[in-house]
A and B are shown apart, each in its own frame.
Chain A
Amino acid sequence: ILNVEQSPQSLHVQEGDSTNFTCSFPSSNFYALHWYRWETAKSPEALFVMTLNGDEKKKGRISATLNTKEGYSYLYIKGSQPEDSATYLCAFNYGQNFVFGPGTRLSVLP
């Protein structure tokens, strides 16, 4: 059974703080690593798809890095805003299907 872990489980930050969290995944059979944002009462939405070791992706204040050799990815949020409050999911794509991590629940306090 493939295991994907995320840490921390939850996080509370003040508006304006920068933050980061981690996704750990198997380093074998790697196809892609996906990050999703899941806001309360909404559908999970894709943030990034990352495929190459050393990949860095950026969308506004959010960025992500990928290390496939050691099996981890970091998600960074610069200058957190209340609208960033959500659960952030990573998903390990091994070509056939996805294995999701349990998520990191971020709360940004105004």
Chain B
Amino acid sequence: DVKVTQSSRYLVKRTGEKVFLECVQDMDHENMFWYRQDPGLGLRLIYFSYDVKMKEKGDIPEGYSVSREKKERFSLILESASTNQTSMYLCASSFRQGSLDEQFFGPGTRLTVL
């Protein structure tokens, strides 16, 4: 059964802290994505990766960085968390770029920055 897991369901951090959100997929997918979901807005793409050690900026990369050292793992890093980064973060993966394949999502991490 296809699975995307995220390290935490809920996370509370303080302004200025460094935050790591981890995502692991077990489907040998090439593509991995990080989104954030805010009320009234669609899922917005932060960063994506088409291969190990490759990363591309999405629509809202400011304040974030990512790391993909292994194919199955894609990490989202908030170097210095701010209150406007309070959001639901969703990780997703798909087989390959340019295909019709659906994206498979993790359960999400609800991050609160105080």
0/1 per residue, B49-63, Cβ < 8 Å to A? 000000000110000
On whether the beta carbons of A97 and B102 are closer than 8 Å, the reply is no
Give the size category of A's interface with B. Answer: 20 to 34
Chain B interface SS verdict (over half): loop
Q: Which residues of A contact B114 (CB under 8 A)?
A: none
Task: Give the docked Cα–Cα distance between A97 and B100 (Å).
Answer: 10
On whether the beta carbons of A97 and B45 are closer than 8 Å, the reply is yes
Q: Give the residue among B4, B35, B102 with the most A Cβ atoms within 10 A.
A: B102
Task: Give the docked Cα–Cα distance between A60 and B44 (Å).
Answer: 30
Which residue of A has the minimal Cβ distance to B3? A43
A20 to chain B, nearest CB (A): 19
Q: Which residues of A are interface residues toward B (Cβ below 8 A)?
A: 1, 4, 9, 31-32, 34, 36, 41-46, 49, 51, 89, 91, 93, 95-103
For the complex of A and B, 3 pairs with smallest distance between CB atoms: A100-B42, A46-B102, A100-B43
**How many residues from B make CB contacts under 8 Å with A?**
23
The yes or no answer to B48 lying at the interface (CB within 8 A) is yes
The segment out of B12-20, B65-73, B74-82, B103-111 that lies at the interface is: B103-111
Task: Give the docked Cα–Cα distance between A1 and B100 (Å).
Answer: 21
Q: Which residues of B are interface residues toward A (Cβ below 8 A)?
A: 4, 33, 35, 40-45, 48, 58-59, 90, 97-98, 100, 102-108
Which residue of B has the minimal Cβ distance to A47? B102
A44, A49, A95: the one contacting B105 at CB < 8 Å is A44
